[in-house]
Structure 1
Amino acid sequence: MSGTESVFRETSAEPRTEAVPFSHLSLELGHLYMEDFAEGPSRLRRHFAAVRPWADAARTVLGPPHSGRRPRISTCFLIDDYFSRLSTPAELIPPLLETAAAAGLTIDYLARESGCAGPLRGDSAHRDRADLAECVLHRLVESPPPGSTGFRQPVSRTGWLSNGRRAPAQRTSAALESTGAVWQPPSETGARGHSVFMDVELWSGHEEERTWSCAFLAAVWQLVRLGLLRDKGRAVLTPTPWDDEKFPADWDALPPVLRLNPRAAPFTAYVTCSVLPTRFLPVEHAVRVILDQVQVEAGAFTQVAERCAAEDFSLPAGVVDRTYYVFPPGL
C-alpha cells in the first residue's frame, strides 16, 4: 500500500502529564519508626545532633548551579505510620519539630509512610486513583540475567525482585547425586569482579491483603521525591499546606505530605539525599535494586530533563544515580 495515511487520535487518549515544581535537592533529615519515638526526647536530640553537620555538608557539596543562582533545597522527614502506630500525630509531631529546631534544622515537609502505600486521599477529585504502591509495582520491568530462559515467575506473582540470576532450585536426592548435578551460585547482573547478589521481598501476605515491605515503600518514597510518579498523568502526593498548630489524634486525618514551611523550596527535586541511621543501609541497597528496574512514565522523565537543561543543571541519566545517602556513625 502506497501513499500517506492519516491517523486520527482522540485528544483524551493522550493524557497530559501534569507538571510539578522542582528544587535542586530534596534533603531527608530522617526516617524513624514508632519505636524510636517511644524512646523519648533524648532519642530525638541524639538523632538531630548527629544529622546537623551532615545536612550542612550535603548543602555545601551540591554547590551553586551553573546559572549562579542560589540552589533550591527543601528538607523532609518521613514518619512510619504504616507498620505501627504507637502514638498519635498530636503527641508525636510537636516535640519532633521542636527538637529539630533546637538543633538548628527546619523540616519543610513531613510525610507519612502509609501515604506511599495508598490509597491516596479519598476526596472526590482523587477517588478514581489506584493505590500508589500498586502503580509502581505495575511499572517494574525485571532485568533478565544473561542466559535467562524466562522460566522464573514474574515479580508480580512472586513478590520478589533480584538484581541477577538466582541459584537454581534443586532437590537433594540420591538420584540427582548420581547424575553429577553441580550446584551453581547466584550471580549479580553487571557485577564488577565479584557478585553482590540481592533478592528483595516486595510484600508479604495474600494479594488482597498485602503488607508492602519497607524497601518497596522506600523506593516509592524516592520516586515521589524525584517527581517521577504520575497517576493517569496527574501528580501524586502533592504537599498540603499546614499552618495549624494543632495536629489531629488520628493519622488517617492527616494528609500524606504536609508543607510545614510556607517559604520552603519545592518538595520534589532533581536529586535526593537521605541522612539515615546505619540500620537502613541494607534497606537502601534494596531500594536501589528496585529503582534500577522501574520504568518511569516518559512524560515525567522528559519534563525533568527539560527543566534541568533549561537551568544548565547536570543530572545523571539513570534514576538510581539521582539518589544519595549519608549514614552517620552512631545515628
Structure 2
Amino acid sequence: MTEPSYVETGAEPRTESVPFSHLSLELGHLYMEDFTEGPDRLRRHFAAVRPWADAARRSLDTRHPRISTCFLVDDYFSRLATPAELIPPLLTAAEEAGLTIDYLARESGCAAPDPARRGAAALAECVLDRLVEAPPPGTTGYRPPVGRTGWLSNGRRSPSRRVTAALDTDDRWRPPSETLASGHSVFMDVELFDQAEDRRTWSCAFLAAVWQLVRLGLLRDDGRAVLTPVPWETGTFPADWDALPPVIRLQPSAQPFTAYGTCSVLPARFLPVEHAVRVVLDQVQIDLEALDQVARRSEAEQYSVSAGVVERISYVFPPGL
C-alpha cells in the first residue's frame, strides 16, 4: 500500500509567469488637463514622439525585436473627460503621426486592487510593503519607517535642530548626503503618499514606480501576475473610467505588454518624477522567482538583460514635448 504524501502549499511554486517583449515603449503620459487643450495638443505630442520612438526601435540589439507600445492616462488625480470622449481622439492623433498604441492603461490601476483578481491587494500597497530602506552609513535607523511617514530618501537627511538646546551635543549644521554618491551628492527625498484621516493619496512618483514594475513583469500579488491586459474589441468606450479595465489591449496582434526593458518618451516636466522613480526602485525587494524567470527566459533567447532593475529602464525627454 502506497503511503500518502503531504506537501505544504507554501512549498509549491507560486509565482505566475508572464510573456515578454524585448521592449515596452511608452508613447506618452498626459494629465487630464493636457487633453482639454484639444486635438492639436495631441497631434503636437505624437509628432514630437515619433522620431524618438523610431530611434528606440532601432536601438534594440536583436534580429527580430518584439516591441509593444503603451500609453498611460492619468485618471487618478482628476477625471475631466470620459473614456468615450478622450480615447478616440487620442488614438486618431497617434495614427496620424504613424504610431500605434497597443496597450492603454489607467493610472488609477496602479493604486487600486486589480479588479480581475478577487481579494487582490492594492498594487501600490504591494510595492510599499516591499520597500527595504537602505540605512545611510553611520546612522542608527532612528527615523520612522517609510510606511508611517510616506517619505523615502536616497541617503542621509540633514538633521533638524532639536527644540531643547541642552540635548544637542553637536548643533552644527550638516548637509544631506547621497548614500552611493559619485563625487558630489544628488540627494532626494521622495514623498510616496500623504494621508488625510482614512484616505491615502499616492504620489505621481510612486505610482510611476509601480507602473515601471508592472511593465517589466516584476510585480506580483501573492505570486499572481497583475494588470494582465484585457482585449478591447467592442470599438466603443464607456462613459465611466471605472468601467474600463486597468490595462486594455487595443491591437489583437500586439507583442506582450510586459518586457525585458522599458523606454518612456515623456515631457521634460516628468524628469524629476522619474528620478524619484529610480530612488524608489533601488529600494524595492523584487520577487526572486520573478527575477529568475526573466533571467532564464532572456538567457534562452541569448538576449542580454541588465542585472539591476533600474538599469532596465530608459527615457527620452524630447525638447518642446
TM-score (norm 1): 0.92
2:71 to 65, 72, 77: 77
Q: Does 1:199 align with 2:189?
A: yes
In structure 1, C-alpha distance between the alignment counterparts of 2:135 and 2:163, rounded to whole Å: 27
What SS does structure 1 have at the residue aligned with 2:59?
helix
What SS does structure 1 have at the residue aligned with 2:252?
coil
Q: Does 1:160 align with 2:151?
A: yes
What SS does structure 2 have at the residue aligned with 1:223?
helix
Residue 143 of structure 1 corresponds to 134
Residue 5 of structure 1 corresponds to none
Q: 1:135 offset after TM fit, Å?
A: 0.5
Taking a change above 3 Å as real, the CA distance of residues 15 and 171 of structure 1, as seen in their structure-2 partners, is same
Q: 1:93 offset after TM fit, Å?
A: 0.1
1:300 to 275, 290, 296: 290
Is there any run of 5+ residues in structure 2 with no aligned partner, and where? 1-5
Give the letter aligned to residue 109 of structure 1. Y
What SS does structure 1 have at the residue aligned with 2:93?
helix
In structure 1, C-alpha distance between the alignment counterparts of 2:42 and 2:198, rounded to whole Å: 37
Contact kept, 8 Å, 1:115 with 1:256, in 2: the verdict is: yes
Residue 26 of structure 1 corresponds to 24
Residue 237 of structure 2 corresponds to 247
Residue 221 of structure 1 corresponds to 211
Matches within 5 A, 1:1-331: 9-64=7-62, 68=63, 70-121=64-115, 126-171=117-162, 181-206=171-196, 208-331=198-321
In structure 2, C-alpha distance between the alignment counterparts of 1:307 and 1:290, rounded to whole Å: 26
Q: 1:176 offset after TM fit, Å?
A: 7.7
Is there any run of 5+ residues in structure 1 with no aligned partner, and where? 1-7
In structure 1, C-alpha distance between the alignment counterparts of 2:287 and 2:319, rounded to whole Å: 37
What SS does structure 2 have at the residue aligned with 1:62?
coil
Contact kept, 8 Å, 1:164 with 1:197, in 2: the verdict is: yes
What SS does structure 1 have at the residue aligned with 2:198?
helix
In structure 2, C-alpha distance between the alignment counterparts of 1:291 and 1:263, rounded to whole Å: 31
Give the letter aligned to residue 151 of structure 1. Y
Q: 1:208 offset after TM fit, Å?
A: 3.0
Identity of aligned residues (%): 75
Taking a change above 3 Å as real, the CA distance of residues 176 and 31 of structure 1, as seen in their structure-2 partners, is same
Q: 1:231 offset after TM fit, Å?
A: 0.9
Residue 3 of structure 2 corresponds to none
In structure 2, C-alpha distance between the alignment counterparts of 1:175 and 1:134, rounded to whole Å: 41
> After the TM superposition, which segments of 4 or more aligned residues of structure 1 sit over 2 Å from their partners?
11-15, 171-177
In structure 1, C-alpha distance between the alignment counterparts of 2:252 and 2:172, rounded to whole Å: 63
In structure 1, C-alpha distance between the alignment counterparts of 2:214 and 2:160, rounded to whole Å: 37
In structure 1, C-alpha distance between the alignment counterparts of 2:302 and 2:237, rounded to whole Å: 41
Number of aligned pairs?
A: 317
In structure 1, C-alpha distance between the alignment counterparts of 2:102 and 2:181, rounded to whole Å: 39
In structure 2, C-alpha distance between the alignment counterparts of 1:174 and 1:293, rounded to whole Å: 35
Contact kept, 8 Å, 1:273 with 1:324, in 2: the verdict is: yes
Contact kept, 8 Å, 1:15 with 1:232, in 2: the verdict is: no
